[in-house]
Structure 1
Amino acid sequence: MTTTPAGWYPDPYGSPLLRWWDGTQWTDATHAPEQEAGAPPQPQSQPQPQTQPQFQTQPQFQTQPQFQQAQSQQTQFQQPGGAWGPPNHTAQLPTPDFGAPRRQTPVWPWIVGGVAAVVVLALAIGGAVILLHDRAVPVVARPEITATAPQLDQTVPPQPEPQQSTPPLPQLPQPSGDRIQDPATGLSYAYPGDEWQVPESKNVNDPSDPRMPLWTSGCQMTSQANYDGRGGDWVGSVYTAEVPQLFPYSGPQSFGQLSQTLLLAYDPLFYGIQHERKVLRNEATTVSGKQGWVIEFEMDFTKVAEANGLKWKKEKGAIVLVDRGQNARPAMLYISVPDNLDQSVIKRVQDSLQSQ
């Protein structure tokens, strides 16, 4: 290989300084890259070169690790005998094959490094022990040991945290005569007929969703079984509940805004198929002499119904709010009936609605 000329090069031993290569080996002379520096003073025992080495080609090395340069990735040279490149630039580093620096490595860094390694290892083992101690591990049955001293090496499994009990869902009342009474809200209404069935509470209530009402009475009738090909049934619905705490309420004077908020919230939850919505009625009303509000609507599924062979095309419904006095959430009646069922149920139930 060709000889690399003497000069300043990045320190091959990892420091951020430049180190002097005298043409045959690394020396102890170093300086910061941003400082200008000429050739280091030569030791008296070493003869001074009479002339600077001449070279015609860029230095060639057996291996050429690349190092980040301050301002340019290209190494620039002047004519033979000149300095390396512009200020603060560094040339390609001579490989460590040229020899080691003439200095003796002190022993104490190795001692400090060894102690630090031991400390890190101890901390890692301690952390692993703590982590494993915090995990619940299965308790393996041990043979009986007769001893007078307490056994300290037995692992006690962590006690499970007590679970908060979920209140049982309300049982939906069955019709009594030709009416359904809801003792939770004080509402009662006409039972639509024997084709309408009272479902199990767990099948229509979802306590984990704060938007959803906790239905305390209701009945439904199937409009189309397995309408989606995945076991889903489309139904007509009549239900009552207290308006969820999630929705702001400041008294009967806010019924108009509350009714629209409920409709917008329940539209995507109850009618997940693409449709168009139209409000048919939105006004104040009274129920058993109490202030109330009614908003009636129509959902149009015609496009989806024709494309997918659904048995209904439109669905009408209503939300009726009833004041229950100071410090009480309002009661709500929700009705929704597709056009392949008897939609006169909507008017009959509304007209029969009473509040205690």
Structure 2
Amino acid sequence: MTTTPAGWYPDPYGSPLLRWWDGTQWTDATHAPGQEAGAPQAPQQAPQQAPLQAPQQTQPQWGPVNQTAQLPMPEFGAPRRTAPVWPWIVGGIATVVVLALVIGGAVIVLRDRAYTANARPDTTATAPQLDQTVPPEQEPQQSAPPLPQLPQPAGDRIKDPVTGLSYAYPGDKWQVPESKDINNPADQRSPLWTSGCTATSQANYDGRGNDWVGSVYTAEVPQIYPYSGSQGLGQLSQTLLLTFDQDFYGIPHDHKILRNEALTVSGKQGWVIEFEMDFTKVAEANGLKWKKEKGAIVLVDRGQNARPAMLYVSVPDNLDQSVLKRVEDSLQSQ
């Protein structure tokens, strides 16, 4: 059984900081992304964690092929929202929902994979009130920059002008979504997806109007994830997988890594990590149309002073899972 080496990783408790993993547990040591920081001088005690708001199912930690446990994961997470919060990618980007379904006496938590799936946990802090002596019309107005429009297929390929990646278009069943439906620029951990397409696996899977979908997306890796060169692609891919597992797959599941190795894409150094999510127990108890989902994260180094490019694919087993291999094998980089 392997473990993740000590180091700075995106905070699994939802803050925009990096938190120190000492090789066995999360510590209290944090620092802002982009700042130089070495190992803490003394071991830190694990932070007190907030109680979960819904019944939890213990899941094995990530590990290499056919093993469990590798990436650091807290035993409990911060409270989850009970309303939609970010798009699902992977198998699905639809609105995050913590949903208690009582079926046959069994209560399960279903979370939608949509636009809001990566939003921060709710906080009890009270927002500051505006000074009523200042007329509202004099308050400075800030508008967010417009989201990039996702490119449509050109022939049998989709080309991402931001990352330089291109890949095979899976076919007419797969449609290019609106950028606003899959991106949340306010979430620093969430990639800003600049190309992609989705296919519906199960409409209204939770009885609340949310869909579970298969997904193909590309983006630059967000700045919050430390990156110092191609030698770190393997660790970066595992960190992203840990984040996506927490944010995108809210239904209780088992999981395993199928492939984890270096590769080249159009002569550039890269890394691929393939995985499988197993929802069989929940699917059989609740009549879901899919039981397992296969996916992959492919990272491509883009040289000095450039963030690595990322391909993210995830396909439930009630869709054509050959899409995963076709998209991976067709990946090119400018």
Bin the TM-score by the shorter chain.
Answer: 0.5 to 0.7
The amino acid across from 1:209 in the alignment is D
Per the alignment, residue 318 of structure 1 pairs with: 296
Q: State the shift of 1:164 in Å.
A: 2.1
Per the alignment, residue 175 of structure 1 pairs with: 153
Q: Give secondary structure in 2 for the equivalent of 1:247.
A: coil
Give the Cα separation in 2 of the matches to 1:268 and 1:135: 41
Q: How does 1:285-324 map to 2 (within 5 A)?
A: 285-324=263-302
Give the Cα separation in 1 of the matches to 2:181 and 2:137: 34
Q: TM-score, normalised by structure 1?
A: 0.56
1:238-289 CA deviation, whole Å, 9 max, x = no partner?
0000001111111100001000000000102111100011000000000000
Per the alignment, residue 234 of structure 1 pairs with: 212
Give the Cα separation in 2 of the matches to 1:271 and 1:160: 43
Check whether the contact 1:175–1:181 (CA below 8 A) recurs between aligned residues.
Answer: yes
Pick from 202, 209, 223: which aligns with 1:224?
A: 202
Larger Rg over CA atoms = 1
Q: State the shift of 1:337 in Å.
A: 0.1
Give the Cα separation in 1 of the matches to 2:210 and 2:132: 42
Pick from 126, 132, 137: which aligns with 1:135?
A: 132
Give the Cα separation in 2 of the matches to 1:211 and 1:247: 8
Q: How does 1:52-71 map to 2 (within 5 A)?
A: none
Per the alignment, residue 190 of structure 2 pairs with: 212
Give me the CA root mean square deviation.
1.1
Q: Give secondary structure in 1 for the equivalent of 2:262.
A: strand
Q: How does 1:47-126 map to 2 (within 5 A)?
A: none
The amino acid across from 2:204 in the alignment is N
The amino acid across from 1:200 in the alignment is E
Structure number with the higher helix fraction is 1
1:147-201 CA deviation, whole Å, 9 max, x = no partner?
xxxxxxxxxx465221222110000000000000000000000000001000000
Q: Structure 1 segments of 4 or more deviating over 6 A? A: none
CA pair 194-160 structure 1, distance change in 2 beyond 3 A:
same
CA pair 348-158 structure 1, distance change in 2 beyond 3 A:
closer
Per the alignment, residue 259 of structure 1 pairs with: 237
Give the Cα separation in 2 of the matches to 1:159 and 1:300: 53
Q: TM-score, normalised by structure 2?
A: 0.60
Give the Cα separation in 1 of the matches to 2:243 and 2:149: 25
Check whether the contact 1:295–1:318 (CA below 8 A) recurs between aligned residues.
Answer: yes
Give the Cα separation in 2 of the matches to 1:181 and 1:201: 15
Per the alignment, residue 250 of structure 1 pairs with: 228
Q: What residue ranges of structure 1 are gaps of 5+ in the alignment?
A: 1-133, 138-156
Q: Give secondary structure in 2 for the equivalent of 1:269.
A: helix
Structure number with the higher strand fraction is 2
Alignment: residue pair count: 204
Give the Cα separation in 1 of the matches to 2:282 and 2:141: 45
1:120-160 CA deviation, whole Å, 9 max, x = no partner?
xxxxxxxxxxxxxx6248xxxxxxxxxxxxxxxxxxx4652
Per the alignment, residue 283 of structure 1 pairs with: 261
Give the Cα separation in 1 of the matches to 2:198 and 2:295: 13
Q: Give secondary structure in 2 for the equivalent of 1:222.
A: strand
CA pair 158-286 structure 1, distance change in 2 beyond 3 A:
closer
1:210-259 CA deviation, whole Å, 9 max, x = no partner?
11100000000000000000011000000000001111111100001000
Q: State the shift of 1:208 in Å.
A: 1.1
Per the alignment, residue 343 of structure 1 pairs with: 321
Check whether the contact 1:136–1:158 (CA below 8 A) recurs between aligned residues.
Answer: no
Q: Give secondary structure in 2 for the equivalent of 1:218.
A: strand
Give the Cα separation in 1 of the matches to 2:220 and 2:164: 10
Considering Cα pairs closer than 8 Å and 6+ residues apart, tell me whether 1 or 2 has the greater RCO: 2
Give the Cα separation in 2 of the matches to 1:351 and 1:158: 55
CA pair 231-159 structure 1, distance change in 2 beyond 3 A:
closer
1:28-75 CA deviation, whole Å, 9 max, x = no partner?
xxxxxxxxxxxxxxxxxxxxxxxxxxxxxxxxxxxxxxxxxxxxxxxx
The amino acid across from 1:248 in the alignment is P
Identity across the alignment (%): 83
